[in-house]
Amino acid sequence: MVALSPVAHGLARPDPRRVTLLLALGTLLLALLSLGTGAAGLGPTELLSALTGEGLDRRAQVILWDIRLPRLALGLMVGAALAVSGALMQGLFRNPLADPGIVGVGAGAGLGAVLAIVLGGLLPAGVAAFVGAHLVPLAAFLGGWVATLLLYRVATRGGRTSVATMLLAGIALGALAGALTGILVYLADDRQLRDLTFWGMGSLAGASWPRIGASLPLILPVLVLSPLLARGLNALALGEAQAAHMGIAVERVKRFAILGVAAAAGAAVAVAGGIGFVGIVVPHLLRLLGGPDHRHILPQAALLGGGLLVGADMIARSLVAPAELPIGIVTACLGAPVFLWILLRRKGGMGL
């Protein structure tokens, strides 16, 4: 008879629905805090009094509706987009180190955005009028899409992704996109240079309702539809062949994941510049917290990513107030150590 196995002591994981609820509450709290924080001295008490019907003066109304609310909305949207595209990409590459910012997808999207800013004027007037404010996000999406496709082709052989190849190919892609971006910057005129500098700072400072409107059509569908890929991404964790044997339409899952990454990461880069590490830190924290099931990771990433970016934006605005730090600096300071920590403690299943 088979020998008795030792009794297993498992790690108790929190109920995923409770995690989601707590994340939603935390993000809501941060959002309210963020609305009451800023250089104009409009604090939470004034905002509360506005809610209780005492009304705000004209100046306060402008600050709330035209500055703080769009900034909050952009932060939630961009953070959610970055985190969800990170989770999708990690699922696609079966690797917790994949992040649009690290493996060149952000640079590809950046190249697309710069192309649109510098050469957008050459478009026929009809086309320009048709795409309008959506031109930069669309171009960023296309740039991110091409970069993701190239990366997947280079880094994945026989259904397995090599971490080393993925990171090296990401460096090469990022360098190439950076060089092409450099050429375009060299060609740009003064007005375009100002647009580029403003865009490249990686900031939520340019938040406005039209900007949000321009990128929402790319980001919202990804946030809402990505959980449909969850079962496929879970199965892909065992490799492409195993996923196919489990009845997953592997090619379709890959195609939609790549499109989703490009749309969400591209649009985020287009409106907020290069904000790094949100895509890698958020899914990693969620896996530590409640396990790697993509059915929970994907919606939770949207909540935690949005909350994290709003929090980072508060730090960026308050550390050197009344000036502000580029938010990319804050996320890098928080995210880079986490990235190194993942590298240090990694073990089985990384597929190097």
- Footprint of another protein (CB under 8 A): 1-3, 5, 7-8, 10-13, 94-96, 160, 231, 234-235, 237-239, 241-242, 244-250, 287, 291-293, 347-351
Q: How far is the CB of 45 from another protein (least distance, A)?
A: 45
Q: How far is the CB of 227 from another protein (least distance, A)?
A: 14
Q: 3-state DSSP: the chain helix, strand, coil percent, rounded to 5?
A: 75, 0, 25
Q: Where are the beta strands (DSSP E) in the chain?
A: 156-157, 160-161
Cα-based distances in Å from 152 to 33, 158, 254:
40, 12, 9
**Of the two residues 127 and 238, which places its CB atom closer to another protein in the complex?**
238
Q: How far is the CB of 331 from another protein (least distance, A)?
A: 23
**Of the two residues 41 and 348, which places its CB atom closer to another protein in the complex?**
348
**Of the two residues 55 and 348, which places its CB atom closer to another protein in the complex?**
348
Give the single-character DSSP code of 14: P
Distance separating alpha carbons of residues 16 and 293, to the nearest angstrom: 10
Cα-based distances in Å from 250 to 92, 225, 234, 348:
10, 17, 11, 24
User: Among candidates 52, 107, 47, which has minimal Cα distance to 72?
Assistant: 47
Q: How far is the CB of 352 from another protein (least distance, A)?
A: 11
Q: How far is the CB of 169 from another protein (least distance, A)?
A: 18
Q: What is the 3-state secondary structure (H, E, C) of 32-44?
A: HHHHCCCCCCCCH
Q: How far is the CB of 5 from another protein (least distance, A)?
A: 6
CB 100 within 8 A of CB 335: no
Which two three-digit tokens encode residue 35? 């609305």
Q: How far is the CB of 324 from another protein (least distance, A)?
A: 37
Q: How many CA atoms does the CB half-sphere of 175 hold within 13 Å?
A: 6
**Of the two residues 220 and 237, which places its CB atom closer to another protein in the complex?**
237
Distance separating alpha carbons of residues 120 and 179, to the nearest angstrom: 19
Which two three-digit tokens encode residue 101? 């910012």
**Of the two residues 294 and 317, which places its CB atom closer to another protein in the complex?**
294
**Of the two residues 8 and 122, which places its CB atom closer to another protein in the complex?**
8
**Of the two residues 233 and 275, which places its CB atom closer to another protein in the complex?**
233
Place of tokens 């900031």: 203
